[in-house]
Amino acid sequence: MSVFEQLSHRQCECSNGVIERTSHRGRSKSVPSDRNTFGSSSVSVPPLDPDDGRETPCDGIGPTGAAGRHSLEPPMSESHAHVRRLARTVPRSPVLPVLDLVVITTFIGYGLTRHGLDPWAFPTYTVKAVTPFAIGWLLVAPLLGAYSERTLGSFAWTAVVVAGAWVVASLLGGAIRSTSLFPGGATPIFLVVIVGFGLAFVLGWRLVVTAAHRRWRGQPRSPVGSRAD
């Protein structure tokens, strides 16, 4: 059969009552058609490769090859991607958040000492003074990415993220301290002191953490038995 005849047979296959397809083993298969306009006849169709990715004529099934099977795969859920992005902001270890709270406690304890109050002599008052700002830091710092790998690996990101996180955490802590649950209140001058001097403590500490993290990450592993540089 010539190429022209094959093309003619393919064009008229949808209008015939019966379509005859030739399989790979040379056997023919009669497939009934939903249309019976011009009577019943049979047309010999050249064998089709089931894996060529083309649509089978008049069957409405769609792609039968590898491309068709790939298109049936469900897309990735957006909620899963959101969970992965959120997981990047959560600290992998509780060690660094605990050390951050130690630094915040040290800063506030130093402020109490400057005002003539011994933190060790009044532990309950010290805890109540630290708690609002500890809550503010633990809520704000992870959301702004203070524990992300990008922040820990860059001095610039550490300065921007930690500074912003401490300012917001200080304002939030001041709002919590203004309630009846905690003593002292939060005047504007007090908040300015907390933001300014607290930033010197917290940011200075986190820059040291970033330097240690970069040194640890960039240090090559030495073979067993050899002396590390």
The strand pairing partners of 51, in sequence order, are none
Higher pLDDT, 4 or 209: 209
Q: What pLDDT, in 10s, does the model give residues 105-144?
A: 999 999 999 988 898 999 999 999 999 999 999 999 999 9
- With beta carbons less than 8 A apart as the criterion, state whether 81 and 46 touch: no
- The helix (run of H) or strand (run of E) holding residue 177 is helix 155-177
User: Is residue 164 over pLDDT 80?
Assistant: yes
